[in-house]
Structure 1
Amino acid sequence: MTANLTRRTLLAATTTAAIAGSTGLQTSSYAGTPAADPGKLLRGNWQPSRQDRALVGRWARDTWRSLVAMTDEHTGLPADNIGDSVTSPVRSKYTSPTNIGGYLWSVVVARHLGIISPQESLRRITQTLTTMKNVDHHEPSGMFFNWYDESTGEVRYVDPDGTKPITPFVSSVDNGWFACALMVVRNAEPRARALADSLLDKMNFAYYYNPAARPGGLMRGGFFETPPPDEATDKGNHAGTGPDVYYRKFHYDTLNTEARIAGYVGFVLGQVPHTQYFATYRTFPESCDWSWVEQQPVGVHRTYLGLDVFEGTYSYRGFRLVPSWGGDMFESLMPDLFVPEATWAPRSWGINHPLTVRAQIEHGLDEAKYGYWGFSPASNPKGGYSVYGVEPIGMDPGGYPSDLEGTNFDSGFGDCRVGVNPNPTYGDGVVTPHAAFLAMAYAPRQAIENLSKIERDLHAYGTGGFYDAVAVKSGLIAKRYLALDQAMVMGAIGNVFGNDLIRRNFADRRAERGIRPLIAMEQFGSGIE
């Protein structure tokens, strides 16, 4: 489980005409990826109608309203979550660099869509960045701790549940998302560029890169500035500057997770070598030594940058794709909000992303027969927080289930292990609206129809936009709003209806030089069987 998922388990409106106008909701220039693009099977010749623009414009305004309600008026920091009220919000009293970054790119989208004025956008961005410039952080690396009080900007020394003391942690993934937001802001709001650069220029992702972890090197999950009393750590300093830190012992060793964003940022900043990308697994090896994972992969070995890469894939409903850990939309598609992966890597992500979306749709509609789709970690309608996904396209043997019952799919591992539940009967499916928004770049018509049904038939919608999750049979709704999930909604709308607003402001010349040639060289084994 990645650091961001670990974090998540803790856990002013304008008129429709204005937002649907010529400076508002536009179709994305990235809607056409290369000619052999499997996404065309989903997209067809879709172009947004006036009704699409008005509908999604309303969703954007309401989603923005929830983000405003989460955000402290004095610090400009968003809470991690609030309940269902946006007029009298009860804030969580904690936030993270990911949440703060998500708020920043949401401000950019809100301005572009005409929800807020350019003056308000600059004020909000300046307020948040000024707070972040003054909060306590790990100064040698320029990185931020995982938990802050959104009302004061103070580092939290008690866990978000308020139950036990914690040693402040410096997460690679959470800082990766915050750095992404800075990269977007510096291009989208030039008046805030100097302030954004004053933070970004100090961030050194070399602190996370361990060249000895595997040939090519891997990214660490993160480190502590001081040793925690309850956890074994590796003392050291991969960057070679400043005092030693205390690393958590895990590394990110698979590619198709949200954790790849930290490597991407490191490539752009020239702090992490490109070999790190190919040091990660596409799938674990096919040998019986790895029979504990969900499925036996099929693939071939190819060499990139002198490293042997097993281009393994999983099989699902007549096609093959590179799995994520949990089979959820967040791991696969959140980095794609920033890096135009399908366009820059047409032989890998350009095939895999549309097939991931197809798998989510077919699981919800055809396999589990929920009538709805979109599965990703989110609030549990029964309370708390849970992980959800399409388990057959995830490597986790325990599974990210798609229903409240936690139904486990297990088809076995070839001749190495016999499956115990290859044809499960699914129960009360849990759909998470932000997952459908992430899919919108590849299946816009299906995503809009699905979300419309979730609002109309399941009533999982409030004055702050879509609630975080809903169980489709029981009708149980997780009536709260999470900053990260709402920020993914805003980012997706900005890309699909804002001419790739987030991608094009992230993917400047420096980012393109640092990422595009690298990911363009690879060929996944994904495709139709």
Structure 2
Amino acid sequence: MTANISRRTLLAATGTAALVGTAVPAYGGTTSPADQLKGGWKPDRHDKALVGRWARDTWRSLVAMTDEKTGLPADNIGASVTDPVRSQYTSPTNIGGYLWSTVVARELGIISPHESLRRLTQTLTTMTKVDHHEPSGMYFNWYDEATGEVRYVDPDGTRPITPFVSSVDNGWFAAALMVVRNAEPRVRRLADGLLGKMNFAYYYNPDARPGVGAGLMRGGFFETSPPDEETDKGNHAGTGPDVYYRKFHYDTCNTEARIAPYIGIALGQVPREHYFATYRTFPESCDWSWVEQRPVGVTRNYLGIDVFEGSYAYRGMRLVPSWGGDMFESLMPDLFVPEGTWAKRSWAVNHPLTVRAHIEHGLKEAKYGYWGFSPASNPKGGYSVYGVDAIGMDPNGYPSDLEATNFDAGFEGCRDGVNPTPAYGDGVVTPHAAFLAMQYAPRQAIDNLAKIESRLKAYAGGGFYDSVAVKSGLIAKRYLSLDQAMVMGAIGNVFGNDVIRRNFSRGAVERRVKPLIAMEQFTAGLD
């Protein structure tokens, strides 16, 4: 259950809070993993004041990123929110994140309904004018936030690129449109005008898994053939000219990319059987011994499709892994689809266990004193992936420290591990990961974030910086649009009465997605 506080309370909340300790509660018994983590938590006035300040400062960074004429947010800015240096590029995901953050800011009383309407109208109007792939209604990967023009040079400015049409990027933009049209009826016509043209059938390849009974979603396509990449020419939607598909498919279930098929299924553009064509884990045979560990599970049948319900072991838990073991892949779709409520035997078990794994890795296994790991800015410069390696399928691992320490326990009976008991170094925590966990471990998340602010000093006028290394104290002093939007979305759900979920999940999403995910049973749980 989420907390519901008034807009006035958050608007008036100021100052810091005297927070309780950071002890992780004991696990076990018959209550659910989510209940065990929450421990009957209810926000007190200190929680409301503290999180209210975090929300206002985070919103300040998003305003600083956003071009005043186009209403498009930059991908990132540096440390200053008063004199921001914008990145000169943005994506459909970033634009969507700004839209849903505007809804949250209004819900929490940070901005007025009038300002919210103005900002939403400005951004949506710009999006009606930008170049895009018109037959599918989908948007290209990179735009200049100051002009709305498609970029033909990569974000680093080092090489020419062929504009790409990404399924997951367009999924997040469509998700934002679905939130906005319900949250603000006065822009519904604009939002529906954009959403109504988007056809996710362009990404669905029915032949990606022969003999399974359903196909997979493509990573995306090019409108024109790229000179430096082999592609598959075709058109899965059957309307408009052929496109040039990138050969990559999303073949695992626990990934942020599941937002695109959720929307495609809700809109009647992707068959619901697709959901069960993705892997929970790869098979347990030695043919797949290159992945992180050997799964254990059973095979169940849903909608005529056999699904191996595999899970990974970690510290007394069994859970369905993501690719990298990071919070973003597992929990970002849950900001929109109420998976923890609708899928009682699958995501409602898995999500809190993912959170618990992050807490135990940070506090008990690696002993960083902090937790929350997700792809983010590298404190040494650039961008890197972070996660809890043991709960990801990637054999190279999403590490949790600057040293890129790799955990490898082997694939039982097939491959010996090379580093089953690693010594961890300078851990890198990413605040947005702890915010994503707030739905399932609010007390622990708030206390963890309060320490990141007060002790690690990874906080300034635009909210939490993107990441911090806990031993060296190195801080990635910049703000990323997507990461700040995840912070706003998480606060909006926990402290704003599920504002993102309740506006996204109305109508066709509930009718078509809820019964689909409700039928599944993972083998996740406590050993």
| Structure 2 length-normalised TM | 0.94
What SS class does the counterpart of residue 128 from structure 2 fall into?
helix
Q: Trace 1:460-479 onto structure 2 (pairs within 5 A).
A: 460-479=458-477
| 2:273 paired residue among 272, 275, 279 | 275
Q: Trace 1:127-526 onto structure 2 (pairs within 5 A).
A: 127-214=122-209, 215=212, 216-526=214-524
The code of the aligned residue for 1:234 comes to D
What SS class does the counterpart of residue 60 from structure 1 fall into?
helix
How many residue pairs match? The answer is 503
| 2:99 paired residue among 65, 87, 104 | 104
- Contact residue 19 and residue 115 of structure 1 kept, 8 A: no
The code of the aligned residue for 2:498 comes to D
Moved more, 381-390 or 503-512: 503-512
User: Structure 1 CA distance, aligned partners of 2:248 and 2:11?
Assistant: 49
- Contact residue 8 and residue 109 of structure 2 kept, 8 A: no
Shift of 1:345: 0.3
Shift of 1:20: 4.6
Shift of 1:17: 6.1
User: Structure 2 CA distance, aligned partners of 1:85 and 1:184?
Assistant: 30
Q: Which runs of 5+ in 1 are unaligned?
A: 1-13, 22-34
User: Structure 2 CA distance, aligned partners of 1:392 and 1:445?
Assistant: 25
Shift of 1:245: 0.2
Q: Per-residue CA shift, 1:99-118, capped at 9, x if unaligned?
A: 00000000000001111110
Q: Per-residue CA shift, 1:412-449, capped at 9, x if unaligned?
A: 00010000110000000000000000000000000000
- Contact residue 37 and residue 346 of structure 1 kept, 8 A: no
Counterpart of 2:115 in structure 1 is 120
- Contact residue 16 and residue 58 of structure 1 kept, 8 A: no
User: Structure 1 CA distance, aligned partners of 2:228 and 2:508?
Assistant: 41
Shift of 1:182: 0.1
- Contact residue 72 and residue 95 of structure 2 kept, 8 A: yes
Shift of 1:309: 0.3
Alignment of 1:18 with 2:11, yes or no, is: yes
User: Structure 1 CA distance, aligned partners of 2:13 and 2:459?
Assistant: 21
User: Structure 2 CA distance, aligned partners of 1:19 and 1:221?
Assistant: 44
Shift of 1:338: 0.1
The code of the aligned residue for 2:428 comes to V
User: Structure 2 CA distance, aligned partners of 1:44 and 1:133?
Assistant: 47
Counterpart of 1:4 in structure 2 is none
User: Structure 1 CA distance, aligned partners of 2:190 and 2:326?
Assistant: 35
The code of the aligned residue for 1:53 comes to K
Q: What root-mean-square deviation, in Å, do the aligned CA atoms of Structure 1 and Structure 2 show?
A: 1.1
The code of the aligned residue for 1:352 comes to N
User: Structure 1 CA distance, aligned partners of 2:205 and 2:353?
Assistant: 32
- Contact residue 256 and residue 329 of structure 2 kept, 8 A: yes
Identity fraction in percent:
81
The code of the aligned residue for 1:139 comes to E
- Contact residue 10 and residue 52 of structure 2 kept, 8 A: no
Shift of 1:331: 0.1
User: Structure 2 CA distance, aligned partners of 1:16 and 1:300?
Assistant: 49
Shift of 1:37: 2.7
User: Structure 2 CA distance, aligned partners of 1:252 and 1:505?
Assistant: 27
Counterpart of 2:26 in structure 1 is none
| Structure 1 length-normalised TM | 0.94
Flag the 1:16–1:187 CA change in 2: closer, same or farther, 3 A: closer
Q: Per-residue CA shift, 1:325-345, capped at 9, x if unaligned?
A: 000000000000000001000
Flag the 1:371–1:351 CA change in 2: closer, same or farther, 3 A: same
What SS class does the counterpart of residue 145 from structure 2 fall into?
coil
